[in-house]
Structure 1
C-alpha cells in the first residue's frame, strides 16, 4: 500500500535553484552533455542539515530525489526530470591530521582540490585522474588511479563515512559507518556505488606521505598496435607494484598508441623498468622524469581536458591478457571508429603483489579484485546527429569483446548492460540488497541501476 504524502512541514535550506532562476541552466548541466534533464528544484547544500532538510522536503511531498557531487555520472543517474537534485558540491572542506595520517574530506570536493589540499600537508590519497570528478561517487564505486597497485583503491583507504539516510516514513537522519558502527553499510560504501543507500557527506581517509614520483609517456604509431598492446599486457601486471600504468589506443584517424605510468621511485629506475616497452615496435616519443606528486596529478589530468562534450562509455575487466583475436578486435573497431574521438583505454590493476588483488573479492563491495586490467571503451561527439552512430559503435564493440573480458566497473555505468548487477557486483549483489533493505526499505534513494529492495512499502512519488 502506498504511503500518502503529508502536508509540507520542512523548508529547503542552502542555495535553492528552480526553473526561471538565472543560474538554473548552469545548475542543471551534467558533465556528459548527452544527458539533458530538467529538475523541479536543485539544492546546493552547504552543511549536513541542508541535506537532511532536502531529503525530508522530498519525502513529505512525494518528490523523487537524486544525489549529486561532481556531475560525472556517465548515464545521468545524478539528475532527474521533475524531481529534486540534492547537490553537495558546496560542502568542500578538507582537514588533515598528518600525525595520525588521516584526512576528513567533505564529499563535495573534486579530486583536483583533494589532491591540492593534501599536497599542502605532504600527503596523498590513492584516487583517480580526472580533476573535476567528485570524491563522493569515485570512492563509493571503488576509486581507481595511479597509486592503486601500491596503496589500493580509494575505497580501501576509507576509514569512515558520514551519511544522511531516510528515517521513518518522512524523515532523514545522519549516521556514521565504519568497521565498528553500521559495519554493513560501511562494507557497501566501499564499491557498492553511489546514491543507493543515502547521501554521503563526509569521509575519513587514511593518507600517505608523498613528495616526488617519476612519470613516463611512450608514443607509438598505429602500425605497432599488434606488437605493443600484447607487450604492455604482459609487462604491466608483472612489474613492481610501485608502478601503475595505462595504455590508450586512439582511433585510426589519430593513429597513435600512448602508454603512461607513475612510479614511486626515481627516473633512472623507471627507465630500466619500462625497457621492455621501449624494445617493442618503434617508439616515436619518449618522456621520463621525476616530478612533485602534485605535478604528476596535473600531467595525468591533462588527458581529460578539451574532450568532446557528449559521450558514451562502457567498461570491462581483463582477468587475463587479450588473445591475438581480441587485439585484432580492437584494431578492427578503431579502424572503423565513428570519428577521431573514439578510444580504448586500459589501466593496470593486479599482479606483482598489487594492493588491489590482495583484498578478498568479498571483503568490500567491489568484487573485481583479481582483474589484471580495466578497460574503458569510449566514443565522443558534439553534433546530435552523430549520437546514435557513436552509441551503437560502443554497444557493438562491447559485444565483440565479451568473450575476452568480464563485467563492468560501476563507475563506468552502462544502461545497455542487461545483467548489470552481476557485471558491477558479482557475488556481492545479494549482500548489497540486504544492506539496502536495512537502511532504505522504502527505496527512497533509487535510480535506473540502484540497488533494489525486496519486499517493500513503496512511497508514492510524483515524478520519474
Structure 2
C-alpha cells in the first residue's frame, strides 16, 4: 500500500478501493444515479480507527473528503470527484439492552436491518420507510416516519452519538456527545444534518416495546383529488397521535391518489378513525389489517422499490391545510408532469398530541416542530435527455406552492434553494454555525450545503 503513505504520513486502513479496481464502479455509485462522480479512493471502514486514519490521511494531503453510509444523499453530497469517500457501511453492529430500553447502533446500518435487529427483541425506533437509507443520515437530519406523531422523530430518541472529528492541524479523534458532555454537539446532531461536524460512527437510541400494529391503504381515482386532498389535510392532524398517515398523488397518467397509515391499536379502531376518508369521494380500493410491526415496515417500504434510478426531489412543510388554490396547483402540475413517475407525497407530523410538535423549535436543531405536514415533490427518469425537463418541473412546482408552504427538510436537500440555511434550519442556523466553529474550525467536513464556519 505504498501509494497510500507519505514518509511520515498516516496509512489508510480498512477495505480500500482505487480506480482501476474491478469493484470501483460499484463502490463509487450513488443511490441517485443522476450523479456519477470519480473519487481518488474509497475506504470502506470496519472500525472507528479506520475512520480516524482516513480523516488524518485526507488532511495530511489536502484531499477533499466525504462521509457516506447509505448513499441516499439526494444531491450527491456523499460523493466527490478526485477526493476520498470515507464509507462507513460495513460498520453495522446493533446491540439492544431491552431492560434499559436502549439500542447501540453503528452508523453503517440500513434502516431495514435496524428494524429487523430491534424486532428480534420486540422493540423499535421511530424512523423512516426507505429500507436501504442509512440510519446515520436519517437520524442526523431528523428522521420522520409512521411512529412520529406518537414517539417523535428519530433524532428525538437519540441519547448519545460517537463522532470522529478533526483535531489540531492534521489530526482526528473520537468524541462522545451526550447530555453530560459535548451537549452542544448532541443538540446539533438532532436535526443539524449529516457530515457537518465530523463522521458519526455509533448512536445510542431510546427504543420502545412493539408487537402488533394496524395499517390501512385507500386508493381513489384522479377525479376525486379536490375532495380527497383537503379532507386528508384536515383529518390527519386531528386524529389520535397513535395514528400517523400519508397521502400520495401520482401524475395524471397514473391517475391515483393513495393514503396509507399506521395505528398503534386494533383494526376495528383504525376502521373507525379512517371513516371520514372512506366517506370522501369514491374509494376504488381499501385495506385495513393488523400485522406484526416488522411486516408493517415492509409494507411501507414497498413504495421505495423499483423506482427510476435518477431523480430530483424537493421538500416543504405545511403549517395549515392548502387552500383551494394550493390544491389546484397540485392538480395542474401533476396534470402536466414530465412523465408518469412524478408525484407529490405528504405525511402527517403535527396536530393532536403530536410528539413532534410538543418539542420546542430550538430544543433540537430540527426547527419545523409546529408543521402539520411534510411535502415531498419528486420527479424520476431513466434517460439523461429527460433530466432538465424533470428538474425544471420540480423547481417550478416548488415555486408555485411557496405562498402556502414553508422551508425544506434537510434530508430532502435541494441545491436550487438559494436561502437553504433558513429553509433547513430556521432560527437554529446561528447556533449551528457556533457548533461548527467549535468542532470543525478548519472546515474539514464541507460540501455544497454544509454548515459554514463563518
TM over 0.5: yes
Aligned to 1:49: 49
Distance 1:9 1:351 in 2: 55
CA displacement, residues 174-203 of structure 1 (integer Å, 9 cap, x when unaligned) = 000011110000000000000110000000
Secondary structure at 1:390's aligned position in 2? helix
Question: Is 1:237 matched with 2:237?
Answer: yes
Distance 2:375 2:184 in 1: 29
Distance 2:8 2:306 in 1: 45
Question: Is 1:19 matched with 2:11?
Answer: no
Aligned to 1:437: 437
Secondary structure at 1:443's aligned position in 2? coil
**What are the ranges of 5 or more consecutive residues in structure 2 without an aligned counterpart?**
1-5
Secondary structure at 1:449's aligned position in 2? coil
Aligned to 2:158: 158
Aligned to 1:33: 33
Secondary structure at 2:213's aligned position in 1? strand
Aligned to 2:136: 136
Q: TM-score under structure 1 normalisation? A: 0.96
Distance 1:138 1:35 in 2: 20
RMSD: 0.9
How far is the alpha carbon of 1:7 from its aligned partner? 5.9
Aligned to 2:66: 66
Secondary structure at 1:407's aligned position in 2? coil
Superposed, 1:61-210 pairs within 5 Å as 61-210=61-210
Distance 2:154 2:166 in 1: 26
Q: TM-score under structure 2 normalisation? A: 0.99
Number of aligned residues: 450
Distance 1:40 1:414 in 2: 26
Is the Cα–Cα contact under 8 Å of residues 8 and 57 in structure 1 kept in the other structure? no
How far is the alpha carbon of 1:8 from its aligned partner? 5.0
Superposed, 1:64-463 pairs within 5 Å as 64-454=64-454
Is the Cα–Cα contact under 8 Å of residues 8 and 60 in structure 1 kept in the other structure? no
Distance 2:79 2:32 in 1: 11
Is the Cα–Cα contact under 8 Å of residues 211 and 292 in structure 1 kept in the other structure? yes
Distance 1:409 1:8 in 2: 43
How far is the alpha carbon of 1:9 from its aligned partner? 1.1
Is the Cα–Cα contact under 8 Å of residues 109 and 134 in structure 1 kept in the other structure? yes
Secondary structure at 1:202's aligned position in 2? strand
Is the Cα–Cα contact under 8 Å of residues 224 and 281 in structure 1 kept in the other structure? yes
Secondary structure at 1:353's aligned position in 2? coil
Distance 1:178 1:419 in 2: 31
Distance 2:409 2:179 in 1: 24
Is the Cα–Cα contact under 8 Å of residues 337 and 393 in structure 1 kept in the other structure? yes
Distance 2:126 2:366 in 1: 16
How far is the alpha carbon of 1:395 from its aligned partner? 0.4
Is the Cα–Cα contact under 8 Å of residues 125 and 207 in structure 1 kept in the other structure? yes
Distance 1:383 1:173 in 2: 43
